[in-house]
Chain A
Amino acid sequence: MIGFVTWRLAQLVPVLLVASALIFFMMYAVPGGPVAALVGENATQEQIAAVTEQFGLNRPVAVQYVDWLLRALTGDLGQSLHSREPVLKLIGERLPATLQLAAVATLIGLLVGVPLALASALSQGSWLDRALSGWSALALGVPTFWVGILLILLFAVELKLLPAASAYVPVWQDPWQMIRNAILPAGTLGLYVSGIFARFLRGSLITEFNADYVRTARSKGLKEGTVVARHVLRNAMLPFVTIVGIMLAGFIGGAVVTEAVFTYPGLGRLVIQAIGSRDYPLVQGCILVILAIYILINLLVDVLYVYIDPRIDYG
């Protein structure tokens, strides 16, 4: 087990290395550069040259990459070209906001999706099942930004119950304010992901309902509720845990649109801003952190399996 985790953590190193090189060289392949954004439209050639020199952007790309890499290995991801603040500090400000949003959104997705899947699977083929399937198709199909805007119009503009722009309030500081601020963006993402959860878990449940051990359980004279809770649901949850992990990890960098609609101070919006201003070190740092967290969450899921599935043993 410890060997397995060490091995998986060791795998992070080459992944991050390759990813960092790819991002670095790809950014240079994209037209435009940070200098133009920094100096403004009316800058002279001299000003441009000076700024270019100042940030070392006139050196060959490979040299710049190695330079960045060597400093990154010491834990220094450089400074933002734009705000002149350390990249790690900027990321550190946004990361808790993103993690909290992702967690709340996943929780809402589970609270909505799991009961839907159970109701669907238990009434397989009925009108309820069809209605619920339609609902999850809707949740999946409607773009999140549109749902977000509708929610803002309803709850913030019309009913004036909730803020239109969602601030990051840590849950341990003020749970009530946290809920007021997070409920709209997290609800938007949660509704979307509940469609995926419901659809996937329904399929998984239906497969397990037809399994031989379920027939065995019924032949023992167990109540149907016991059969579902103790036998069907536990087995159906096994593949489902992976999906939940993937969706949760996906929200770390992938909630950009929702963050933008609610002007939420998350990591996704930071990346978009950084790309827009060609803030190379910041883009690089953000993507690497998002990637590392994505991999770590999936590792956590794999480790979790040791506890929920007795057949799995990483030796």
Chain B
Amino acid sequence: MEGPPQMPNPVLSIRSLNVTFVGSGADIPAVRGIDLDVHENEVLGIVGESGSGKSVTALAAAGLLPRTARITGSVLLGGRQVVGATADDLRRMRGQDVGVVFQDPSTTLNPLMPVGDQVTEGEVAHGRLARADAGVRAVDLLREVDIADPDNRARQYPHEFSGGMRQRAVIAMAMAGRPRLIVADEPTTALDVTVQAQVLALLARRQAETGAAVVLITHDLGVVAEVAHRVAVMYGGRIVETGSVRDIFARPRHPYTAALLRSAPRIDVTAGRLDPIPGQPPTPTDLPAGCTFHPRCPLHAGRTRCTTEDPALRPMGPGQAAACHFAEEMGARDPLSPGPSPRGEGRPVAAASLPPPGGRDSERGSPPPLLVVDDLKVHFPIRAGLLRRVVRTVRAVDGVSLSLAPGETLGLVGESGCGKTTTGRAIMGLIRSTGGRILFDGKPVHGLSRKGLRPVRRAMQYVFQDPFSSLNPMLSVGDAIAEPLRIHGLYDAAGGATWIATLLDMVGLSPSVAHRMPREFSGGQKQRIGIARALALKPRLLILDEPVSALDVSIQAQIVNLLQDLQKDLGLAYLFIAHDLSVVKHISDRVAVMYLGRIVEEGPKADLYGRPVHPYTQALLSAVPAVDVDPAAKRRRIVLEGEIPNPSAPPPGCHFHPRCFRADGRCGVEVPAFRPYGDGATRTACHHAGPLTVPLTPAPETLGASP
């Protein structure tokens, strides 16, 4: 993690960069005067929330900004000026001096072109590779990024690749010309956590082999802590703080950095309550005067300097700089246990809002469970051929059992395709189950007709992942919230507009917004509306399907806190479906881990995170990049091989055995039963269940390790 010695000539040197998008409407200032240097063999992480200007900065470095961008300042790449360069010069630079890895590997490759051709296309275009040699070169490049069977893979199309393999191919493509700078824009955000670990390790290895400079754009503080040497934190189009990873994480000098670190749930720390940043990130078209962070800042406290003068980045110690008039007041305060907040509205006392340790656990069993799912199966037939015969079945959910007490939160975690969303939808009756029993409040609800389901649905509501598409754009907020009441003919009985106003108030929105349309709201506000809609019928159970994964970290914390408050006030039970292990740990009482349609381990939060016994849970937890900058505390990591198999053709026996480090002959034949482990409250499905004793593989090299 040690930064390399400062070298005289940075690979990338940005000075006073301004990027403004000019269009038909108002000008949008996306980047407002930033300076940064990146040297050979160095990894700079740029962190920020949406709209902070981090991606625009990256695109500017690669000369990839659209024509609508007005750019001033200087971007020197390998000594050559990017700003104002001709289209031809830019073209020669790309792929030669700079390679780019984009976010979503499912859309960054051309679907109509074999992957091999795409990987070598740049080198051929630059005249460094003869077309005749491209085939061989493509195979070599794919082999360098650990793609198995590269000879055949090079001829395949992107849709035949898994997500992780596509991102490997994109890395091969970006590094084909051995560029001196790699720009990686959220390179692992679209990937599952076990695949993210593989891709980060690969990126680190290839970076070390080529000695390239890397600019890594991410919103994930854990990824930065894991792989970067230096960090630049962006807010409102400016760099508000920069420094070494260790300094920034241990001693942030800008209140935004400190607040950002506090608001993210951490997998290695148990906190009672998250500490969100109040308010919303600024919109570039409507930036606050003075310091753009002042409306959300605890240091502002009414001081006029913050509202009139935009602070410049100034040195705060060796290698660290912050743009805050009152950065000294941040002192040496530990960001993770902040002192009294100047505005007196700091975080609520953590311990008081926590149930007594083990309290829920010891109570469990006494009240009858609200929801019991027993051996739930959801199979989807795949039809093909002349007569549309069923040729295969996708066992999306294959024997899931769980129970949920009133007022309890059960976290359901797993990677993509594990069946967690299908489980939630089947419980809600949105998808018909193939087998098993679902009991709500002691009464069976599986196989009920639409009409029979209606009274059950009143007590059971669903909150969807994407707040942007789950609200009808043509309905006002008030009508959207009232819709479930009207469907059930309860609008007047529930109190009509008064109840709607109460609901809006409960989710922290002003009742006066009821007549406004969804497009006027931000993502976090839309999710509040979605929650209000789910609460309209006074349900007893909420199924929350990735409710915060589309939101920025600071907003995520607001919604998580809201959910916890509502649970306490209304006695709601939550089935919290998510892929983010830190958020799940924070909000859940118990956690169930799914893999390919089955639950592999389920238990109280403290046991599951502290002493996992299933190898998949162990690998999953070790793969989460943690905000943990002390190298001594660096956890050993299990990097799983391969990716999640296709759910339509799962491996026989234990579905996990081909990737498992404990598997033996029995695992490939016999499906392990889901049964209690030891005498604790944990249940698991593994022939070789047991705590992790010896770290299996050393932690992978971090980016920038000397070659």
Contact = CB atoms under 8 A, between A and B. Distances in A.
A216 B125 contact: no
Interface in A190-220: 211-213, 215-220
A226 B99 CA distance: 18
B87 A310 contact: no
A220 B121 contact: yes
A231 B159 CA distance: 16
Interface residues of A, number: 28
A213 B91 contact: no
A315 B384 contact: yes
Contacts of A238: 112
A223 interface: yes
A234 interface: yes
Contacts of A3: 385-386
Contact of B100 (A216, A224, A235): A216
B111 interface: yes
B109 A213 contact: yes
A85 interface: no
Given A221-B95, A315-B384, A212 B112 contact: no
A216 B173 contact: yes
Contact of A310 (B121, B157, B173): B157
A218 B65 CA distance: 11
Contacts of A220: 94-95, 121-122, 125, 173
B107 A219 contact: no
A31 B159 CA distance: 58
Determine the interface band of chain B, counting residues with CB < 8 A from chain A.
35 or more
Contacts of A311: 111, 157, 159
Given A212-B108, A226-B125, A309-B112, A219 B95 contact: yes
Contacts of B107: 211-213
A212 B126 contact: no
A45 interface: no
A218 B125 contact: no
A6 interface: yes
Contacts of B87: 224
Contacts of A224: 87
Nearest to A10: B386
A2 B108 CA distance: 33
Contacts of B173: 216, 220
Contacts of A217: 110, 121
Interface in A217-251: 217-224, 226, 230-231, 234-235, 238
Interface string A245-278: 0000000000000000000000000000000000
Given A3-B385, A6-B386, A221 B91 contact: yes
A67 B182 CA distance: 76
A7 interface: yes
Interface in B104-136: 104, 107-113, 118, 121-122, 125-126
Contact of A235 (B91, B111, B157, B384): B111
A166 B127 CA distance: 54
Contacts of B126: 221
Nearest to B117: A230
B317 to A, nearest CB: 36
B108 A213 contact: yes
Which of B100, B102, B121, B384 has the most CB atoms of chain A within a 10 A radius of its CB? Answer: B121
A218 to B, nearest CB: 6
Contacts of A10: 386
B358 to A, nearest CB: 49
Contact of A234 (B99, B104, B112, B122): B112
Which of B96, B111, B112, B384 has the most CB atoms of chain A within a 10 A radius of its CB? Answer: B112
A218 B157 CA distance: 19
Nearest to B160: A310
Interface string B82-97: 0000010001111110
Contacts of B108: 212-213, 215-216
Given A216-B170, A315-B385, A221 B122 contact: yes
Which of A218, A221, A226 has the most CB atoms of chain B within a 10 A radius of its CB? Answer: A221
A213 to B, nearest CB: 4
A193 to B, nearest CB: 25
A288 to B, nearest CB: 25
A229 B112 CA distance: 12
A215 B110 contact: no
A132 B108 CA distance: 31
B64 interface: yes
A257 to B, nearest CB: 39
B480 interface: no
A218 B99 CA distance: 11
Contacts of A315: 384-385
Given A3-B385, A221-B125, A315-B384, A216 B109 contact: yes
Given A10-B386, A212-B107, A222-B125, 4 more contacts: A3-B386, A211-B107, A213-B109, A216-B118
A-B pairs with lowest CB-CB distance, top 7 = A220-B122, A221-B95, A221-B94, A212-B107, A219-B100, A310-B157, A213-B110
Interface of B: 62, 64, 87, 91-96, 98-100, 102, 104, 107-113, 118, 121-122, 125-126, 157, 159, 170, 173-174, 177, 384-386
17 contacts: A7-B386, A10-B386, A211-B107, A213-B109, A213-B110, A215-B64, A216-B108, A216-B170, A219-B62, A219-B102, A220-B95, A220-B122, A222-B125, A226-B125, A230-B113, A310-B111, A311-B157
